[in-house]
Structure 1
Amino acid sequence: MTSEKDILVRTARLLDADAIGSITARYADEGLMLKRSPESIIENIRNFFVAEIGGKVVGCCAISFFTLHLAEIRTLAVCDGFRQQGVGARLVEKAEAILREEGVQNAFVLTLAPQFFSRQGYVAVEKELFPQKIWRDCTTCPKLMYCDEVAMQKAL
């Protein structure tokens, strides 16, 4: 069992792109998130955070800004052997801390794990509150017409 003090969360570096791609590909293969191309990960690397345990990247998440006061926490994924050990919570905490530093007042997620985000203080809301997200990302999603994700929001 991993202790939370063993988890190092940091801003991703270019050399982390392959690890991020591997972790997220497993979730995409299970239909739990959209596949991210290596180019997309590299292009957005400064918006990613990674969690390391013993020098190994075991989780990731990213932030995406929509307005001066609204941002999304996205692409949260943790390696199988490290789930339920606080890795995801630590990644969300880091993302929220950065958003607060930037002056963002509200964070949102679209998730298939509402119980996890509820424990982090998020509340379910209507997806229509985020038209920017829908127009930017959802229109190219194969699940557009039958989206099963839950929109959740948290005041920072």
Structure 2
Amino acid sequence: MSVTIVCRQAHTADVEALYELIQGYAAKGIMLPRSREALTRGIDSFVVAEDGGKLIGCGSLCRLGNDLVEIRSLGIAEGYKGQRIGSRLVEALIQEARTQGIPKVMALTYEVSFFQKNGFEIVDKEIFPEKVWTDCVNCPKQQCCDEIAVLRKIG
């Protein structure tokens, strides 16, 4: 029997599974950690993918200005990578940005080719002062950031 993978809005009941998935990436230094409290407060910004009721992927949107949102905390559970689940999550997040009337979606990433396949272009990080002053100012990698900025215009 084949179970269909579903993308949906996250719920408070997803917090623990979100926390575990994000912590796995954070432990490798490729995603910022999020506390359970922060996840609970920001649960409305998350979209999740599930397979038979098991949370297998996530992503969130963070508003950085009137015309800009950032895709954050995009991750897929081991064993599910390479099945276009990440692309489905990105499309769900882009649709949410469209619904909110926000014309630009950005991300900081190590997975540049993934984002390029999803319609993003590499851009200079410095064009996002909203991001720099919101998050980067507190990041331990601030002075030696090795993530690549990508942007997709949808408006």
**How far has the Cα of 1:54 moved from its partner?**
1.2
Residue matched to 2:124: 126
| DSSP 3-state at the match of 1:109 | strand
Post-superposition offset of 1:75: 0.6
1:41 aligned partner:
39
Partner of 2:149: 151
Q: Aligned partners of 1:73 and 1:26: how far apart in 2? A: 18
AA in 2 matched with 1:126? D
Please point out which of 94, 107, 120 is paired with 1:96.
94
| Aligned partner of residue 99 in structure 1, secondary structure | helix
The one of 10, 13, 22 aligned to 1:24: 22
Fraction of identical pairs, as percent: 38
Amino acid in the other structure paired with 2:56 = V
Q: State the secondary structure of the residue aligned to 2:79.
A: helix
Aligned to 1:54: 52
What is the CA-CA distance between 1:86 and the residue it aligns to?
A: 1.0
Aligned position for 1:63: 61
CA offset digits 1:15-37 (Å, max 9, x no partner): 00001000010000011111111
| Shift in Å, 1:8 | 0.6
Q: 5+ unaligned residues in a row in structure 1: which ranges?
A: none
Gap regions ≥5 residues in structure 2? none
The residue type paired with residue 142 of structure 2 is L
Shift of 1:68: 2.0
TM-score computed with the length of structure 2 as normaliser = 0.96
Distance (Å, rounded) in 2 between the aligned partners of 1:131 and 1:124: 16
Look up the SS of the partner of 1:80 in the other structure. coil
Instruction: Give TM-score, length-normalised by structure 1.
Output: 0.95
Give the structure 2 partner of residue 10 of structure 1.
8
Counterpart CA distance in 2 for 1:138 and 1:7 is 34
Moved over 4 A (4+): none
SS in 2 for 1:82: coil
